[in-house]
Amino acid sequence: MDSAHVQDDLVKVLFTEEQIHEKVRELAQRIEQDYEGKNLLIVGILKGAVMVMADLARAFNRHVEMDWMAVTSYGSGTKSSGVVRILKDLDTDVSGKHVLVVDEIIDTGLTLSWLTSNLCSRGPASVEIATLLRKPDAQQMPVEVKYVGWDIPDEFVVGYGLDYNESYRNLRDIGTLAPHVYS
């Protein structure tokens, strides 16, 4: 979906499809250099990271294993409950593997902090995080993120996997959602 189709729902477009693809290619190059000669398992966090994960995997010029997790700390509300639940666990044993968690956005850091701790308890060689977007002003829990596409303000953003009420995920750009949509 093009942003022109939802222009009344957006305050502004932060990043275009072209900018996003260029940033993902840059991240892939850095990751490839850092993991040269090492087997890499990339773990996408469902559902939001689907676009980032797919494009990142396609940008690599090497083999990588891929797996998925689904975790939630929200239940049916709009605020975090603080209790993280695994909805879909990995199918892959991470023992001795280099694991790169791929997410589309990091805001509070609560879920990813819990998740990295959980993965580290499984005996991997390493666990690192890659994200396309990070909201430093929203962070409540310190989370070390090795690969960051962009730092953004603490605004409600949609597109490229980011949603509001399961809509806008297939928007090719990333934009700030207008308050009239979610108020």
Catalytic residues: 107
According to the 3-state scheme, what is the secondary structure of the chain?
CCHHHHHHHEEEEEECHHHHHHHHHHHHHHHHHHCCCCCEEEEEEECCCHHHHHHHHHHCCCCCEEEEEEEECCCCCCCCCCCCEEEECCCCCCCCCEEEEEEEEECCCHHHHHHHHHHHCCCCCEEEEEEEEECHHHCCCCCCCCEEEEECCCCCEEECCECECCECCCCCCEEEECHHHHC
Task: Look at strands 157-158 and 174-177 and give their pairing.
Answer: antiparallel
